[in-house]
Structure 1
Amino acid sequence: MSDNWFSKYPGLTFERRESGILLMTIDRPEAMNATDAALHNHLSRVWLDIDDDVDTSVVVVTGAGKAFSAGGDLDWIDSMAGNYDGMKVAFREAGDIVYRMTQCSKIIISAINGVAVGAGLAVALMADISLMAEEARITDGHIRIGVAAGDHANIIWPLLCGLAKAKYYLLTAEFVDGKTADQIGLVSKSVPLEQLMDEAMKVAVKIARGPRDATQLTKRALNLWVTQAAPAFDASLAFEMLNFMGPDAAEGVSAQKERREPKFK
């Protein structure tokens, strides 16, 4: 397969490595790789092309610069609050990110090099293997802007770290560093930042050189645990979008933009 499809995703860069490994970088470093409307759309569609790419067996996802992805672009989020048509698009794309990553036959490894929030965190944690820099910090963050935890959280956090920890971190929106995320099972492994990409490539090579069919079918079987939670995920995503139509979301986004504490009703 040619690399022509790479150009369809200007917010992402791609580099082919040995043994059928594809390095995909979220590439908006000037905005800490925050997801705007275009990037959110790209992250919802790129997995279809990766799945069809016969030259790829493993994809490693990371962020350009110091962040993995610092959540949704606030101007984009602000434009969606109270916007029914915008919500319909975001609802569909958010679901597609989760389900298409789950259904993608290729093994996905995330290398979480810095802060990861929102849709970027969905990509980081829906990966089959998540490697995180000890110094990196993650939070779902939806509660901070006055909306229910949707995106990916309800489908994967309880499976990864258990319901008690999931409730604590999703209800408080506290940040979790790499060491803590590793300890509670939220990520597969944490390493010092300077070792992160080497570790990601080492794991990718090990998997890529293994039996492809057996590897892909193992992923498919394991992800049946994830898809069992689909009704809960669909509900949480709908609740998130419902909240975006209300006053708390408008206040939450304004507070984030103005760097102040929100005053929710």
Structure 2
Amino acid sequence: MIHWERYRTIRFEKHDRILVATLNRPETLNAVTPEMHGELVEMFSDFDQDASSDVLVLTGAGRGFCSGADLKGGVSSVDPTETAERTFREARRLISSILETDKPMIAAVNGPAAGLGVTLALFCDIVIASERARLGDTHVKVGLVAGDGGAVIWPLLVGVNKAKELLMTGEMLDAQEALRIHLVNHVVPHEDLIPTALEKARHLASGNTFAIRATKRAVNVYLKWMAAQVLDLSLSLERLSFERLFRPEASKQGPLSS
């Protein structure tokens, strides 16, 4: 039995065999702290093992889905040798835990989804966005590389050149533009977001469990292959950019060379 009540930064509700997970730091647009980052890794693994849940709906509390990493503490609060080591190690586990589960996952994007937040949404199997949603990988805007999954998933969804444009500019897209370029599956009125996500989840939960999960497993072989090709390098480059940002001496090493 999974003890969902032990989580501190994510809230859970059960709707029959549907698990609704709500990122629960609304005062920061659900920005990801080290604690939440660790809980996200556990959450996907726990969901995979939970015999009472067939479908996951992931959303955010308040006005936002997830605004990415919480950097509000500034340089003084960040230990690049300890926090970064743990976080980047967990980042590999996070993407792996998402790709390893055969159960369907739906992102209900209720507001801004940026950085790691948009990565979480896009790695779900179905992305349903509120008309109020805005989506973008904004790593570059704070001087970081989009390494924690963005370099894997964006080219697969929108094509290589469009992905490079959006990742290198950090542009935030409104919901209709995200739909137009196939970044999300559906856009609905804000008040219909959760009902629509639950309706889709019920449809999946009532289907042939083996066929649905086996189909997802087959498709995920391609995603896993892409992650295996890209993720180690992209995370290493993100960590390098993190060190250059938060350790002045690292920035003196000069530009990136091949």
Change beyond 3 A, Cα 1:241–1:207: same
Q: Equivalents in 2 of 1:116, 1:148: separation in Å?
A: 17
Aligned to 1:57: 54
Q: Which runs of 5+ in 1 are unaligned?
A: 252-265
Aligned to 1:109: 106
Q: What residue identity is the alignment partner of 2:244?
A: G
**Secondary structure in 2 matching 1:13:** strand
Aligned to 1:41: 38
Q: What is the TM-score when the length of structure 1 is the normalising length?
A: 0.88
* Pair 1:163 & 2:154 matched: no
Q: Deviations over 1:172-222 (max 9, x none)?
A: 001011111111011121112121111101110000000111111111111
Aligned to 1:243: 241
Q: How many angstroms does 1:82 deviate by?
A: 6.4
Q: What is the TM-score when the length of structure 2 is the normalising length?
A: 0.91
User: In the comparison of the two structures, how many residue pairs are matched?
Assistant: 248
Q: How many angstroms does 1:102 deviate by?
A: 0.8
Q: What residue identity is the alignment partner of 2:128?
A: L
- Retained in 2: the 8 A contact 1:134–1:192? yes
Q: Which runs of 5+ in 2 are unaligned?
A: 249-258
Q: Equivalents in 1 of 2:226, 2:63: separation in Å?
A: 33
* Pair 1:17 & 2:32 matched: no
Q: Equivalents in 1 of 2:107, 2:201: separation in Å?
A: 10
Q: How many angstroms does 1:8 deviate by?
A: 2.5
Q: What residue identity is the alignment partner of 1:143?
A: V
**Secondary structure in 2 matching 1:246:** helix
**How high is the sequence identity, in percent, across the aligned residues?**
37
Q: Equivalents in 1 of 2:240, 2:78: separation in Å?
A: 10
Q: What residue identity is the alignment partner of 1:238?
A: S
Alignment equivalent of 1:180, drawn from 151, 154, 177: 177
Q: Equivalents in 2 of 1:23, 1:235: separation in Å?
A: 33
Runs of at least 4 residues of structure 1 off by over 3 A? 75-82
- Retained in 2: the 8 A contact 1:69–1:117? yes
Alignment equivalent of 2:137, drawn from 132, 137, 140: 140
Q: Equivalents in 1 of 2:242, 2:162: separation in Å?
A: 25
